Structure 1
């Protein structure tokens, strides 16, 4: 058998390799065609999904979902605001009750119903208009003080130092003058 047998088997191997190459080529071509077909179908399907009846339906669902999410966020924000408002209200109520209890303890009288005490307080303080005017006066003074502080902050640092120095000097002179008068 020897060499010819070996050569024969080599030819067979080569023939098989050629055959497998052809098969591989065919297989690759089929695979490529299948992929192209799928891609085309996918494109058509996507177009159908975006433009056709199903597409419109999908868009509508998306819109509704977005709306639901936005309203949920808005709802949470309004809840937060509402809870803050309620907390402020409770705080105000607490302050009012504290003040009333203190007054009650000072005068030694027992706390009557809320409506009664508020009426009594109003009678003591005077009419609503007077109360408002009094509060406005207080607020006006507070605003004036704030304005003064703002003006003070607007001045430069060196200018502020100068003003403070001058005030200190004036105070010192005034005190010396007073002391001098006392000595005489």
Structure 2
């Protein structure tokens, strides 16, 4: 899978400035632009992209291989998955998937995870890092906002104190007809 505009997703760790692009001018000569996001062509762009991707995969429960840092492994509920990262390409392999759904697809980009379950519906999980929130769009329960709760160390829906993992496990089990465990 090719991640389109991958390097544009990287977060800058240091202040980076660049000359104004051709065709742009300002009243005061010598002005420069301060970048807020990574760009293709920056020396550290691939490093910043890989760091953001790695942190996201680790947050979703993947483990990074110690002998090959570009290989990630996930194992839970009889499902085993591997993701190999090469620059802006991802190779994904999954074993033990016993849920057979036409139109099944998983997509991740810019901290948005999309899980398409064919005619059963689509889940969209959008992480808002600065606000410490996760927005869930569910075909079962509709849109919900989950806030990080430090005391329970979980994403919680404030209105009814429901844990995000519990909601997803319950709904996916209902839709797929099989027990689902998220860790």
Normalising TM by the smaller chain, what interval?
under 0.3
- Give the TM-score normalised by structure 1: 0.19
The higher relative CO (CA closer than 8 Å, separation ≥ 6) is in 2
Structure (1 or 2) with the greater strand fraction: 2
Q: Which of the two has higher C-alpha Rg?
A: 1
Structure (1 or 2) with the greater helix fraction: 1
